Amino acid sequence: MRAFFAIIGHPVAHSLSPCFQQAAFDACEIDAAYIPLDLDPARAEDTLFFLKDLAISGFNVTLPFKELAYRKVDHVYGIASKIRSVNTVVAREGLWEGYNTDVPGFKKAYSRFLEKTGYGSGNFIVLGAGGSARAVLEALSSMDVPQIKVVNRSSDRVRVLLEELSRERQISMNSLEDLKSSLDGKDWHVINTLSRNAFPVRGEFPPLEPLDETKVASVFDLSYEREGDTECVSWARRKGIPSSDGLSMLLFQGALSFEIWTGKSAPVRKMAEAMAKALPERKDLPGQFSD
């Protein structure tokens, strides 16, 4: 019987996961289908139970359901239990197992990005306080960075995040309004985990607009656009700041999800080729995915 996999989120119509995950299943001659499922946030919990009744083999989880998935799976493994965020679920013997591949996926993509920019030191700003921010903070902690500022519109959400992560290292909380005045010195690396729909005005990215660009060393956006730059990356390009979107992270975390589901090595090159084919307007992809 054909296996059934999916990505759940809201929205998910833009997701590239179906194209490169299906390419991976086909390359490994696995009889499986991978589809996007857009869940209504108001009814997401009920829909998850319905998916279990459908005997789904596994699924990825994207915004805004990673923390919900953590609470609803039967067992949580690895780093997912530490950061309380699940982005990969596999069904085994009628139970759901939850994992997080965002942490190693981000770490691999971000380390490569920093190597290419030539920056190996500095301080870090993380925009957002959701499941993706949890993964980023965990990855940064393993990289032994000196200082991290977490910035979000809701300060209460950041407080909960920092209390749950219980970091011993220097992590501080800032509001968007106070971000500019709180930056001392230079070489700040900005990592955006906010939703691509959080600031929909084309040509603007309000969280970064007030900043003195001479203090910003790089910008990495976990979001991506099919036809060009995200607003966050566009801001960086206008200022001449090294930047990247989240396509490489998407690929690397997706490859790890595939390996959890199948127990096989992911055909990363085939997955990257499928992603590039789906993005004919993106001429920068080979550089992002090269070893």
Q: Which of 144, 145, 137, 119 is nearest to 173 (CA)?
A: 137
Query: How far apart are alpha carbons 187 and 170 in whole angstroms?
Result: 17
Alpha carbon distances (Å) from 82 to 57, 95, 103, 168, 203: 24, 20, 11, 14, 37
* Residue entry with tokens 């993106």: 282
Query: Going by C-beta distance under 8 Å and a sequence separation of 6 or more, which residues neighbour residue 26?
Result: none
Which amino acid would we find at residue 82? K
**Number of residues in the chain:** 291
Q: Out of 52, 66, 107, 180, which one is annotated catalytic?
A: 66
66 belongs to the catalytic site:
yes
E strand residue ranges, the chain:
3-9, 32-38, 58-61, 75-76, 88-92, 95-99, 123-127, 148-151, 171-174, 188-192, 216-221, 243-244
User: Annotated catalytic sites, by residue?
Assistant: 66
